A and B are shown apart, each in its own frame.
Chain A
């Protein structure tokens, strides 16, 4: 088996200044190219995922080498680093429509699963998701693609009904893309 050429690097744990600088320095030192990445704070916890690719003659980097290059992050014991090989994902055909779903209401277990279940049942694919809890307010904003032949009004009605059952309100709106 050939050495994979793309890796998912995940860094999770206690936030402090310099984590990104240190992580990317280690990756750059191995000749890894950062492609898509996302980083946020989840209730104050640092959470980052980077997709890195191996460029040209550096194509022989093993996951253990990447973890070794990032050991500086984990010595204090409050950050977890994991590296795993991934293969290229083909971009899905774009015969779909894009929507933004907002759900909010009183916090309770099961809101995300109830709503996501309705999206999945409609053949919808969630492409981005943020949830936030503040006091008693639970807030979910999801971007999703619906199949081109989906009945968006019926999907919205199903989501709203499910949301009502778990005591929250839901709004589904088409994404407006302004091509310039």
Chain B
């Protein structure tokens, strides 16, 4: 983890990818791709650079969406985007970025909060996740390895997306039988 990595991630925008992102359809449970663990990818390959751009483009046009993983557009692979910069629960954030082959380095200070997901649109659920998090992963295109520390809502978003990449949904992590709720409002 370094300040340089943090600044690198904050400075990253999808313009670096050099390709136009396409808006893709978001798949919904029970599509089996959502329960499929993603393979590690070579982030420098053009197909994954295109998918990185597509994920960001799809996230941008989806109201309330703060992250999107490859599984959610029908591809079982370890790549996702996040952008929690406009969310009220955010403290630390790094703007828009895409990570490939991300792994948790350190996670602590679990807290429970209610989550939703575009791929499970009719439910929300109470999920306990770390609020202090160090994650390492690669940037699409260059393949640079970055290790960043974050907290609060960005930590939750990263863990939620990394779960997608491992074939898990938030409903796999809900705290109990009364921790699933029919969604009241749709964004």
Q: Point out residues on A near B: beta carbons under 8 Å.
A: 100, 102, 104-107, 128-130, 132, 134-139, 141-143, 168-169, 171, 173, 175-176
Contacts and interface: CB of A to CB of B under 8 A. Distances in A.
B174 A102 contact: yes
A139 B167 CA distance: 16
B107 interface: no
Q: Which of under 10, 10 to 19, 20 to 34, or 35 or more describes the interface residues of B?
A: 20 to 34
Interface stretch (B28-36, B54-62, B83-91): B28-36
Contacts of B180: 130, 132, 139, 141
Contact of B172 (A137, A138, A171): A171
B182 A141 contact: no
8 contacts: A105-B30, A130-B177, A132-B123, A138-B30, A141-B177, A142-B177, A171-B168, A175-B176
B28 A137 contact: yes
A135 B122 contact: yes
A86 B172 CA distance: 36
B151 to A, nearest CB: 19
A143 B28 contact: no
Nearest 5 A-B pairs (CB), nearest first?
A134-B122, A128-B177, A171-B172, A106-B30, A130-B177
B75 interface: no
Contacts of A138: 30
Contacts of B173: 102, 171, 173
A136 B172 CA distance: 17
Interface of B: 28-30, 35, 110, 120, 122-123, 128, 167-169, 171-180, 182
A176 B128 contact: yes
Chain A interface secondary structure, helix, strand, loop or mixed?
Answer: strand
A27 to B, nearest CB: 24
Contacts of B179: 141
Contacts of B175: 100
B86 to A, nearest CB: 28
Given A136-B30, A138-B30, A104 B178 contact: no
A70 B59 CA distance: 53
Nearest to B128: A176
Interface-central residue, B169, B174, B177, by most chain A CB under 10 Å: B177
Contacts of B178: 128, 130
Given A134-B123, A171-B172, A129 B30 contact: no
A175 B176 CA distance: 8
B29 A143 contact: no
Contact of A143 (B30, B120, B128, B176): B176
B29 A104 contact: yes
Given A100-B174, A105-B35, A137-B28, 16 more contacts: A102-B172, A102-B174, A105-B30, A128-B176, A128-B178, A130-B178, A130-B180, A141-B171, A141-B174, A141-B176, A141-B179, A142-B177, A143-B177, A168-B30, A169-B172, A175-B176
